[in-house]
Each structure stands twice: as structure tokens, then as C-alpha cells.
Amino acid sequence: MPAMSSSTSALHNCLTLIMVVLSWILIHRWSQRNHKGPKTWPIIGAAIEQLRNYDRMHDWLAEYLSVSKTITVSMPFRSFTYIADPANVEHVLKTNFDNYPKGELYRSYMDVLLGDGIFNADGDMWRKQRKTASLEFASKNLRDFSTKVFREYALKLSNILCQLSINNQDMDMQDLFMRMTLDSICKVGFGVEIGTLSPHLPDNSFAQAFDAANIIVTLRFIDPLWRIKRFLRAGSEALLERSIKAVDDFTYDVIRKRKAEIERARASGIREVTVFHFKIKHDILSRFIELGEVPDSSFSDEKSLRDVVLNFVIAGRDTTATTLSWFIYMLMTHPAVADKLYFELKAYEEERAKEEKVKLISYVPNDVKSFSSRVNQFAELLNYDSLGRLVYLHACITETLRLYPAVPQDPKGILEDDVLPDGTQVKAGGMVTYVPYSMGRMEYNWGPDAASFRPERWFKNGMLQSVSPFKFTAFQAGPRICLGKDSAYLQMKMTLAILCRFFTFALVPNHPVKYRMMTILSMAHGLKIHVSRRA
């Protein structure tokens, strides 16, 4: 009898525990009946639904944000508030800017890749880097140098596409754009030539390692076990460690080469450093190296310079290449837009030729020599000022960024409890994320055709119009607004003017086009295209 009594008691206790747990879950679920956003469960929050939708995270968020302009997604130990209302975005990015830094949580995820660079820094470190970078981007000297470099690499890309068309060979356009922008930022920003866009398209271990690291640190945002894996050097964190080593080997080599060039120039008594036959007073890396020589500087060691380099790589390579890739995809899927852009470029070519009093070279696409000569002649008609006339091209780029922003979501930490303009309460220690990908697709922001690719929306009475940066957030807004916006438009216009004037693109049949989850909205499977020359 005592044994049976003990067994009955244990069963009773077990049933009681089950009833308590079920009651707890039911009470929790009942309290969620008016919750805006994905339903949550005790302890794990919305982790299951978020993991299930990880590969389509941006569209998953857009579905919820189309119903409510602000949603809260609970995760183990922390909640994330996502916003798509311009008023809320302005509050976070400008009005109460100091309350929404990158924050320690974000930094803990990204520190291994971005360190104390401008994308990851807060406070004085961020202000010092931004001040230095803003002076460089405002420099006419750097702008003119950038124009020459962007033209040079756009022509290299054009030559590769010409050869692909001759050989009737398909190619991953995103890979080509990534190579072009990596070579460009290394030459403009750091004064080094790395040659990934050479005709034989060499493998580049840095680019592969950088992409792998980017993917893994993004996964950390929803992987509660990443710290354990890092401690054990297992799984994704083991790959991250190897990738960061490859990234660092490349980056420190760039820094040491640049330092050596500067020292040689000083030893020769040269005040202006000549790089690749262009005289420039300072590239961006050289300016930070110079700052590092000032007593008590924040950039006196190679680790701080490494962080500067990698942040400018992600800014100057990934974002531009990604946008160019989505642009070409939009042209392929919207032939009427492609035709309209082509006619703008043809008219521009004829107008500029008259202004410069040059006779356009006669060519046919099948005559490769004359074709290449005409492409080079057209490229020489493109400069910083004249590119501003290509208003439809500008609108097409901007419309691409509206629907496919290079940075699809941008999280901020919360220092103190706050109330957003729409009444949403946010708690210290949590995170607020504005979501450019969702914002560009919201009818309450852009009207009933928000999901449509329509460059004409950027014109009013035939003139280009701008909108609030808190509504069109592709370049962020407020004190952290992107310093490289004009430089990015310059490179994209230079490249696309040449490519869209002389080539047509067709998507390889059955090639899947979808984004992959990383900090930048790159294509998961690249962009496989077939290219043809045009008259």
C-alpha cells in the first residue's frame, strides 16, 4: 500500500505540474490576443516562427508591418521592436538620436567583423571617424579621382561583358559587380590595386571569407547558442574564426603596404603621394594613418586601421554591387523601363558629342574593335557634372533602392525607456529596428502601387523630386546619414550608363533570384545572365 500511495502521489504531482504549465501557456496566449506581430510562447518568444521564416525574414516582417506600422517580436531574453512609420523612424534616427545607439548587443554580434569601425561604433569613436570621412568625401580632389577610377573599372567590366557576348557565355553578374566594386574601393579608399576584375577573373580568398563572415554574424541575431559554439570553436563559429583570419590577413597587408608607400614618399621629399599616375593628397586610409600619428589618437594601432578598412569595404563594395545587381534584374523584368533608359542614354550621347565637338565613331556590334572604341568614346563623355543630366537613370537607381535597399534592416539599441510617436513603449536594453525593405513596400508610405517598380514616381511635373529621408531610408537619415551617398550614385551612374547603353541582359532560364540573409541584401544564388551587344 505505501508503494502504491507513493506512486499515486507522484502521478498526482505530475498531472498538477502539467496543468500548471498548460494554464501558464493558455494565460500567456490569451494575453497575446491583441498583440501586434507574431504570436509568442513563454520563454522562447517568437523564436520558432522566426527560425522557420529565417530565409525570407524581410518578407515575413513586411507581412506583419503591412498590418501594423510597429510590431514587437519577442525572443529569448530580449524583445525587438520593428518600425516602418516615417514618424517613428525620425524619432529614432534624429529626434531622440542619443537614446538609440548601435548598442552593446549589436556590437557583440558584429564586433568580430566590424570592430570599432564607423558602422559599429558609438560616441566619440564614431564622431571622430565620421568627421574624418566627411572631410574626405567632400574633397573635390577625391571626387575627381573617384570619377576616373569608376570609369576605368566600368570599362574593364564592359570589356569582360563584350568577351562573354562573343563567346556566348553566361555569367554571374553579381560576382562581376562585387569584383568591380572591391577593386574600386581598394583603389579609391586605400590606394592599392588588387585585380579581382582582371580578364581571367582570379579567385579572391578575401571576398569569399568576407561574405562567409557576414552571413555568420547575421545569423547570430537569432542563434541563442552562438556564444557556446564560439567557446567550443564549433559549427558556424569555427568557420567564422577561419574566415576572419583570411579577412585580417588581407586587411593588414593592405595597411602595411600603404604605410610603406607613404614612408617611401616622405623619404623622397614628396608631399603629394602619386597612386597609379593620379596625384592625390590623401586617400581615406592615408588620412587615418596620418591621424594615428597624432598623440593620443584613436587610430595609432593597426587594429583600429583594420576596422576602418573593413567598414569602408562593406560600405563601398557590398552595398553598391548589391544595388547594381538588383537594378539589372529590374531592367530584365521591366523591358519598357529598359527601353526608356536606353533612349535617354542615346540622346545624352549625341548631345554630349555635339558639345565636345567630337564625331561619334561608327560601329556595328559584331565589329569588336569598333564597338570597343565607341564604348571608350562614350565613357569619356561621362563626368561628375554631366551624369546629373541622366535623370531617368537616377530615378531607376532610386526606385531600385526603394524596393531593394542595400541595408534591408538596421537595428538600434535602447538606452532608456521611451515612447515612440505612435504610442509604442520601448524598454531599455531592447532593440528598435527600422526596416527599409518593408518601408518601401508599404502602401501607407507609397500608395497602392507601392510594390510596383515604377521610376516615374520620382518625377513631378517632369522634374526629379526628393522625399523625406525618414520615408526613403536606403541611406539612413539623421546624424548617421550615409556619407558615401553621392559617391555611390556616381559609381552606379557611371557603370550603368555604359552597360545599359551598349548591352542587353537576359536572365538564364530557371535561375532562382532571391536574397540571402546577411547585413546586405545580396542575391543568394547570384544573378546568372546572358549578355548581348547592342547598337
Look up residue 61 and give its amino acid. Answer: L
Using a 10 angstrom Cβ sphere, with 0-12 exposed, 13-18 middle and 19 or more buried, the burial of residue 167 is: exposed
Whole-number Cα distances in Å, 294 to 287, 297, 403, 454: 11, 5, 44, 50
Cα separation, 406 vs 225, whole angstroms: 28
Share of the chain above pLDDT 70, in %: 89
Over residues 326-339, the mean pLDDT reads 98
Contacts of 34 (CB under 8 A, 6+ apart): none
Q: What is the 3 state secondary structure string of 360-403?
A: CCCCCCCCHHHHHHHHHHHHHCCCCCHHHHCHHHHHHHHHHHHH
Domain spanning 46-533: CATH 1.10.630.10? yes
Decide: helix, strand or coil at residue 453.
coil
All 3 cell numbers of residue 107? 556590437
| pLDDT tier, 277 (very low <50, low <70, confident <90, very high otherwise) | very low
Left, alpha or beta for 261 (phi > 0: left; psi -120 to 50: alpha)?
A: alpha
pLDDT value of residue 35: 52
Taking the CA atoms of 196, 197, 203 and 205 in sequence, report the sign of the dihedral they define.
positive
pLDDT at 129: 84
Q: Is 396 annotated as a binding residue?
A: no
| Mean of per-residue pLDDT scores for the chain | 87
pLDDT > 80? residue 44: no
Per-residue pLDDT band for 264 (boundaries 50, 70, 90) equals: confident
Q: What is the mean pLDDT of residues 207-223?
A: 86
Question: Residue 43: left (phi > 0), alpha (psi -120 to 50), or beta?
Answer: left
For the ranges 29-43, 110-124, 228-242, 517-531, the lowest mean pLDDT is seen at: 29-43
Distance CA 176, CA 182 (A): 10
User: For residue 333, is pLDDT > 60?
Assistant: yes
Domain ranges of the chain: 46-533
State yes or no: pLDDT of 341 exceeds 70: yes
Give the cell for residue 374: 565607341
Is the Cβ–Cβ distance between 488 and 319 less than 8 Å? yes
Residue 191 and residue 3: Cα distance in Å, rounded? 83
Q: Which amino acid is at 321?
A: A
Question: Which class for 408: exposed (0-12), middle (13-18), buried (19 or more C-beta within 10 A)?
Answer: buried
Q: Is pLDDT above 90 for 467?
A: yes
pLDDT at 512: 97
Sequence-distant (6+) residues with CB within 8 A of 213 are 112, 113, 240, 243, 244, 247
pLDDT tens readout for residues 378-412: 999 999 999 999 999 999 999 999 999 999 999 99
21 vs 16: CA distance, rounded Å: 9
Using alpha carbons only, what angle is made at residue 371 by residues 370 and 377, rounded to the nearest 5 degrees?
85
**CA gap 511, 526 in Å, rounded:** 9
Q: List the grid coordinates of 6.
A: 507513493
pLDDT over 50 at 489, yes or no = yes
| pLDDT at res. 10 | 61
Specify the pLDDT at position 469.
97
